[in-house]
Structure formats: structure tokens, C-alpha cells
Chain A
Amino acid sequence: MKGSYLGEFEELVLLSVAMLHPEAYGYAISQTIGVQTGRQVSLSAVHSSLHRLEKKGFLASQLAGATTQRGGKRRRFFAMTTAGKSALHEARQVRQRMWNLVPTIVWESN
């Protein structure tokens, strides 16, 4: 399932979109990722990722009206599609399954 594969960064972006719903747009997403992970994320990386996710069908987008806040520039709001949701779920389930399969001893030994 090459098409539905989610990269780590993509997963973060997707989660951020979900978190920020319904006002997820480029800068807000990069802020969120920054706050949540403590990493500095470049806007262009976020945009690349957003468009790739949109292309994969995980996200849908819509241009909103202009605001004075951003120098009169409109923003593009992103929302998760059903495919996006199930991809997130799937990713989470995979992890969960794998977590569950880790023997307890791993955690106990140091």
C-alpha cells in the first residue's frame, strides 16, 4: 500500500490539521508542530507536505476570504478527508499493535 503510506512528518502534519480543525492553515500548522515537538519546522516543508497529502487524497483544502491580519493575503484551510482519518487510524493501529508485541522485558531492563 504505497499510496497510503504516511511518513513521520506527514503524520505530524495530519494530526495538526485535525487538532486545529476547522482553522488549519500553513502557518498555524507549523506553529503547532513547533510547539508540540519543540522542533523548528520550515514553512516550505509544511507546504510541501500539505500538498503531497492533498494529492494523496488525505486532505482537502479551500481558500478562505482575506483578512487584514496577514497583509491582506488569503489563507488556505485544510481539512481531513475520510481517507486521511483512516490513514491516521491505521498508522495508530500499526503502532499500537507493534507496541503490544514488544515484550515487557524490554522496558524493564535498562
Chain B
Amino acid sequence: MSHPSPQPPQWPLRLLRRYGNPELVEEIQGDLYESFIDRVNHRGITYARWRYVWETLAFLRPASQTHLRVHHPPASRGELFWTYTRLSARYLLKHKAFLLINVLGLALGIATCLAIMHYVRFELGYDTSHVHAQRIYRVSTNIYSDGSEEKVAPAVYGLAPTLQANYDEVEAAVRLVPTTAIIQQKDGTVASEDYFFLADPEIFQVFTHPMLAGDPNKALQRPNSVVLSQSMAKKYLGNAPPTSLIGSHLVIDRQTYELTGIIEDVPKNSDLRFDALLSWEYNPDEWLEVGSFTYLLLKPDIKPEAFAQKLEAFDQKIVAPRVAQDWGTSTITVRHHLYPLTELHYTTNLLGDTEEKGNKSYVYIFSFIALIILIVAGVNYVNLFIAQVTRRNVEVGVAKAMGASQWQLGWQYISECFIITLLALILALAIVLLAGQIFANLLGTPIVWQTFLQSDTVGILLSLVLLISILAGSYPALVLASSRAVVALKGPSFLHRSRGRLRKVFIAFQFTVAISLVAGALIVREQVFYMRHKDLGFQQQEIAAVTIPYDTDGSQKAFAFKQQLQQDSRIEGVAIGSRPDGLWSWSSVSVTAQGQTKTMAANGINVDEDYLQVLQLPLVAGQNFTPIQPQQVIVNEAFVKQASWDDPVGQEVVFSETDKKEVIGVVKDFHFAPLHEHIEPLILFHDTSVGINLLVNIAPSDLEAIKAIWPNFFPNAPLEFEFLDQALDSRYRTEQRLLTLFNYFSGLSIFVACLGLLGLTAFTVQQKTKEIGIRKVLGANRRAIMYLLSREFAVLLLIAAVVATPVAWLAMRYWLQDFAYRTTIGAPVFLWAIGGVALLALITLSYHTLKAAATNPTDSLRYE
């Protein structure tokens, strides 16, 4: 041929090649080409081209597909991933309600977990920021006297210097003494600060407190040096850069201090929080006053157990003789104990300890509950996902008929799960951040988003997402994807019967958790209510406890102030004394009953003669103090009981050889300690020299009466007071927090369980559409249909109630053991919990069942 032969258009062929079996395509191509050439010769190029396109496309008709044997080239893994992701996304967007329920439920579960994780991290992270945290120990003091034991957090002032001087194991020792400081502000007024500590210069050797300005090695060396925290420096010295503030002067407790350092604020999760450190020099050679928190930094290779043994020897050889000499008695033994710094936050029951203590068991309880919530949300998610997936039987059937492998289908479900889980995670993060303030109030720790960027958190979150997707996705991946195409195509119930039991177990589990948590919340609520409303045995309403500023003549001034206040008609009564809700001291005393002398420990408070009357403490025997007899005491009933006195009035309480006091009255027992504890023996001393408050019986609206004359007596100190009823409420803060958390948890678990129920009823109703239609045609009324649909769930609820009741009862009884005075767990709590949850469940159920029952049978029978 002289000229190049005309060519047919190529693009239709590409389509053909893509979908056709290569072997067949070749002969078809040949035929098409031949006919094209023929047509070019006979009818011209244009017509030939047009026909060529037409005929080629005709091969793509479904009718031609059978002989073309449609052929899919093997896809690469990446392509598969995107294909299935796309399919999943399409499906999910088509079922938005399902997606919403699933994502929301899971997100709430994850959000709870995140918040709790944050809380747990905070709680377990106490004092771990110090470089030497693992080598720091606090020495606390145990004082034994004839069978009674008192554990006191601080140690005597002489201990730290002695240990440092005599033991090689001790790298450094530091004493810290809390003090309430009056600090002069720029405008001349005074403020009072509670978190100032006197500290030895070694503090910076032992602890790690990053310094913004100043030299940690020299900061507290010179007398009258002060180190402030960043926020204190800002408060008293303004916003100037830290370095420029060094050398400024501050008047603290009427002495001038020089600022030698500014440290970063002490982290909130520290057992030893302070706002300022004041230098001091006090090395007394006496072993009486137990007043300084003593911390030791042991050398790196020293085993604490070994050093504890040396400490015991030291107690026996050195301390014992000194105690005998200084205290004038040999019946008292002093032992020193080492507490690891990182454990101090959980070390309770030490007198005079630093910060509010944590409760490790609450950390575990919360973690456990959070885990349960997560499991419930996860179970719910899996359950809904499976229910939803079984509706996609046609899709599965078609995919299988088209030759999709089990692996491919399985992958699709897992990737779908992954998408939802990821969405839920993102939503959860948003919830946690938005509700950050609520969580902060709830858990006592603020939440910041940086928390979630930490590598371990990211790791945990990602593995969580993966785990959930695999768990939820693997069931449909394994079961559904392995089913045969024909079975899958047969109907939506093909899997229903075989897996119904698992789904029921899931639902029952969710409601068991919900009922248990609701019952738990109700019991905590009852206990908190009980504690807040129990008659403590003394007047709490309208009693203001006014702090007497520390002063050399504070006691005299307090007396004068009291007299002045008594003149005011708005004030019902005034007493000077220790607060009835805070212990002032304890003593080891000996008493004699029926000819036998025994030693016992007793708490003590200092009171004046008006104390009983103002606080309305009734005497059961004897009489009140008269203004002139300091050698008398009043005891409580518990004391009498423990002393085994038949006739307490006139008995003698022996404090030491030289200090004996006569019992002149017995006061009715009252709860001076929180209700966790039983009422212990108590001695009321007629002493107003130390540890006192002014207890004023006044209505909160009349406070002006005190405020007006306060500066006349204490011009250099701010007025500080607290109403007893409010103060007492704050005693049970831990329980209140537990209650709030319980409320939150139980609400959440109900919500998630109901979400699950909602999804599943929708599913059940859909499955029974035909049955309902037929029943209606045969004359079933609405109630019968409701019954039909709810019956199964009602049984599950019943099972959940039966399981939850003993579980919650046992757990809460265990919790209540912590309280010496506690509410009783009655049946109503459980009835309320079960009834409430059941009601919510029924309302949830009715959303779909009502709709189903109201449907016109012609519509439901037309279905499919």
C-alpha cells in the first residue's frame, strides 16, 4: 500500500482491553479492525470510524460480558485499601444515624478514659519530677507509750543535722517548717500567706526546683534570705523579669528579707507545696519538739532497708536516752521511719502531715470504672457494628459472587471500623478539651491539650483505636465474609440466629454495668448525705471560727477582743478555743481505775469556760470550768469508757510526775474527727494560750460586727474566718468528688447502653417487619406488637438486675467499711436503680417499637 492505511480510533479499545480477557480481546480487535478496513473501502472513513466506536462499545454491554469473561486485574494492596476505604466511607455516609450513634457512644467512652488517664497520671506522678526522687525519704516519727502509738509526720528539729553529721549514707538532709507569714504589700496593707516554709539551704541539693533567677547553692545560706515562687514574686513584686528582682527586699513577719532566688511554681502534684522559702538557723540540742519535716537524700547505692536498720539502732542508742532526759519519762519510746518521697501522697494517718492525701484505691477504682466504661462503649460499638453489618448481606453476597475473597471483605470491615474509631477518637479529644473545665473541677487537675501529645499517650490512643477496630471488625470479617454468597444473599436473618446469644450477652452486660453504677452512685449519695446531715453533737450553724493571728500577745488580745464582741447584741456568744473539727494536740496519759494504773492516748483541745455553751456541748456529769482553775480538765464519754472509770468526776489524769490534772466534768461524745473514724478519747484543757480560735456565734449577715472592730485589735493582720458548717462540708470533698464522678459515670453508662439499645431495636424491628405485618393482619393490636418486640429486652434487663444487685451491694459494702459511721444499704437503692434504668431502657425501646406497631401492615408487607 502506497499510503498509510487508515487507523480506527484507539480509545474504545482501551476500555475493551481494560475489562476484557486479553485472549478474547485480541480476536475481537482483529475482527473490529477488519470490518473497519472494509467499511473504509466501501463507505468512507467517517462512517467506518463511527461504526467502529459503536461496535466496540457494544462489546461492553452486559450481554457481551459473559463471553468476555470480565476480568479484574489483581489490585495492589494500596489500591485495595483506598477502594475499600471509599466503599466504607460511602456506606457510612449513607447511614448517618448509625454512624452518629456509633461514633458518639465510642467517643464518650474514650473521652472518659482520657480524662481518667489524665487523672491517674496526675495522681501517680506525685513528686516524680525531682531528679533524685527515688533516693529521697522523709523521716517521720512514731511515738509509743504503753501500747498506744502515734505516728507524726514531722521529726524533732535536731534530727536532720545529727543524721547528716553522723551517717555517711546521708548525702544531704533538709528540714522544712511550715509557717504562716504576714507579708507587707506595696500599698502598705498586709496579707497572710499559708504556704511559706522555713528551710535549710540543703533543700536545693535534695529537691529539684528549677530556679528562674538566683543561685540555688547560695540562695538560703545567709540569714534573712527568701526564695519566692514565680507567682508569689509576681504577686508581691510585680511583673519585672525575675533576674532584675533579685536583691529586692520584702517585709515578712516584721523582718526584712532579701530576695535571693525565684523558682518555678511547685507542681500541683507535689506532697510538699510551698510558695516561699525563708532561711533560718535553728539547731537546738533538744529532742522534744516534733516540728520539722525532715527529708534525707541517701547516697545512690544505699539500700533504704539497710539504712532503716541503722536508724533503729540510732533510735535505741542515741535517741532513747535523750528522750528519757528531755521528756522526763522512760515510758515513751520514739522510733523514726523512712517513707519514700513518691509514696508520701498516699501515706495517710500521720498527724500534722503536709498536703491533702490521695487515695490509691480511688485511683484504681476510677481506672477500673473507666475501663469498664470503655469496655461497655467498645462492646456497644461491636454490637451495633455487627448488627448493622448483617443487614449488608446483599452487598456481601454480591461481592462474593463477583469473586471477592474473604480477606478482601474482611479488610473492608476492619478499615471501616478503623474510620469510625478514628472519628470517635477525634471527637473524644474534642470533648475532653471542651469539657476540660468540668474535668478539672471533677478530678482536681486541669486538662491541657499538650497532655495528649505525650508520646506514651499517643501510643496508647493509637493502639486503642487499632485494638477496637480489629475487635469490632474481625467478627464480621471472619463470620460474614466467610459465609457463602448464596447464604448471604438469602436474607438478613442468615446470621441472626447463630449470633443472637452473643448480642444478648453484650446487652445484658451493658445493663449490668449501668445498674451497678447507678446503685453505686445512689449509695455514695446516701453516705454523703448521711455524713453532711448527721448530728455531730455540737453547734455548727452560725459559728464563725476566727483565726487569731500569731503574735506574742495574741492570747491577751483574743481575750480583749472576745470581751468587746460580747457587748454586741448581734453576737450570741463568743468562746476562745481550738476548733471542734480540728485537733490541737494529743497526749499520752496515765489513769488509775480500780487500783490499776494504765496508760492511754487521748486527743486534746484547748478551750475556755464559754466553749461548752457556745458550741452547745452538753455535760453528762460534773461541771464546767470556772475562770480560775487551770489544773482541771473535762473529758469525753469515750475517755471515761477507755479509762474504765465508774465515777469519773474527781479522778486524776496524770501527764507526768509533775503534771496531774483533775477531771471536773464529762462532756457528751461529739464527732471532732471526720465520720470515717470512731469517737476517740478527748481531753478539754482549760488553756487559751496556744492553738486557739475565736468561735463566734453570729449570723453570716451580721459579720460586719466583727469586721468593724477587728483592726482595733489586730491592725497588722487580715481577718480570716470560716463558718463551721461550710468547713465541715469540705471535710468530705473526696466523697463529694467520688459522688460527682459516680453520677457522671452512671449517666454515661446508661447513655451508652441506651444508644446500643436504640441501634439494636432498630435492627430487630427491621428484621421482624414481615412478622409484625402478618401479626397485624391477623389481628394483633398495638400492645401485642410492643410486647413482642420488648419481651426479649425485658428479660435481658431482668438478668442484668439480678447480676448487678449483688455485685453493687458487695462493692459498696466494702467501700462503706471506710466509714466508722455509715448509712445502711437498703433495698430501695436497688429498686430505684433498676427501675430508673429499666424506665430509660423502655423509653428507648419504645422509639422504634411504637413506630413498628403503628405501621400499616400493607407497608410492612410490601417490604422486600
Chain A contacts to B: CB under 8 angstroms: 25-27, 30-31, 42-45, 47-48, 50-52, 63, 69-71, 73-76
Contact = CB atoms under 8 A, between A and B. Distances in A.
B14 interface: no
Interface in B8-53: 23, 26-35, 38
B61 interface: yes
Interface string B84-102: 0000000000000000000
B34 A69 contact: yes
28 contacts: A26-B27, A26-B28, A26-B30, A27-B31, A30-B31, A42-B54, A43-B59, A44-B59, A47-B64, A47-B67, A48-B63, A48-B64, A50-B67, A51-B66, A51-B67, A52-B67, A63-B23, A63-B27, A71-B30, A71-B33, A73-B26, A73-B30, A74-B27, A74-B30, A75-B27, A75-B30, A75-B31, A76-B27
Nearest to A64: B27
Contact of A30 (B35, B59, B64): B35
B551 interface: no
B54 to A, nearest CB: 8
Given A42-B58, A43-B58, A48 B27 contact: no
B729 interface: no
Nearest to A40: B51
A43 B32 contact: yes
B27 A43 contact: no
A74 B34 CA distance: 11
Contacts of B23: 63
Contacts of B35: 27, 30-31, 43
A75 B32 CA distance: 11
Contacts of B28: 26, 43, 47
The 7 closest A-B pairs by CB, nearest first: A73-B30, A51-B67, A26-B31, A70-B30, A44-B58, A27-B31, A44-B59
Contacts of A69: 34
Residue in B26, B34, B64 with the greatest tally of chain A CB atoms within 10 Å: B34
A17 B26 CA distance: 20
Nearest to B28: A47
Interface in B676-707: none
A51 B68 CA distance: 9
Contacts of B64: 44, 47-48
B39 to A, nearest CB: 11
A47 B58 CA distance: 11
A71 B23 CA distance: 16
Contacts of B67: 47-48, 50-52
B50 to A, nearest CB: 13
A47 B55 CA distance: 11
Contacts of A75: 27, 30-31
Interface residues of B, number: 21
B509 to A, nearest CB: 55
Contact of A74 (B26, B61, B66): B26
A50 B66 CA distance: 12
Please classify the interface of chain A as helix (H, G, I), strand (E, B), loop, or mixed, using the class held by over half of its residues: helix
A17 to B, nearest CB: 14
Contacts of A73: 26-27, 29-30, 33
A48 B23 CA distance: 15
Nearest to A26: B31
B58 A70 contact: no
A47 B59 CA distance: 9
B10 to A, nearest CB: 12
Contacts of A43: 28, 31-32, 35, 55, 58-59
A32 to B, nearest CB: 13
Contacts of A44: 55, 58-59, 61, 64
B31 A25 contact: yes
B55 A70 contact: no
Contacts of A27: 30-31, 34-35
Given A26-B28, A47-B64, A73-B30, 17 more contacts: A26-B27, A27-B35, A31-B38, A44-B61, A47-B28, A48-B63, A52-B67, A63-B27, A69-B34, A70-B30, A70-B31, A70-B33, A71-B29, A73-B33, A74-B26, A74-B27, A75-B30
B66 A25 contact: no
A42 B32 CA distance: 10
A70 to B, nearest CB: 4
A69 B29 CA distance: 12
B836 to A, nearest CB: 67
B128 to A, nearest CB: 77
Nearest to B61: A44
B465 to A, nearest CB: 50
B158 to A, nearest CB: 107
A48 B66 contact: yes
Nearest to B65: A48
A43 B27 CA distance: 11
B29 to A, nearest CB: 5
Contacts of A63: 23, 27
B34 A70 contact: yes
Contacts of A30: 31, 35
A26 B34 CA distance: 10
Contacts of B38: 31
Interface centre among A25, A63, A73, A74 (most CB of B within 10 A): A73
A55 to B, nearest CB: 8
A89 B28 CA distance: 29
B12 to A, nearest CB: 12
A64 B59 CA distance: 22
A51 B448 CA distance: 70
Nearest to A73: B30
Nearest to A70: B30
A25 B33 CA distance: 13
A74 B28 CA distance: 9
A87 B35 CA distance: 29
B813 to A, nearest CB: 77
Contacts of B31: 25-27, 30, 43, 47, 70, 75
A75 B29 CA distance: 9
Interface in B122-166: none
Contacts of B32: 43
B206 to A, nearest CB: 90
B297 to A, nearest CB: 90
Contacts of B34: 27, 69-70
A70 B34 CA distance: 6
A25 B55 contact: no
A57 to B, nearest CB: 15
Most B-side CB within 10 Å, residue of A25, A44, A52, A76: A44
Contacts of A76: 27
Contacts of A48: 63-64, 66-67
B9 to A, nearest CB: 14
A109 B439 CA distance: 101
A86 to B, nearest CB: 23
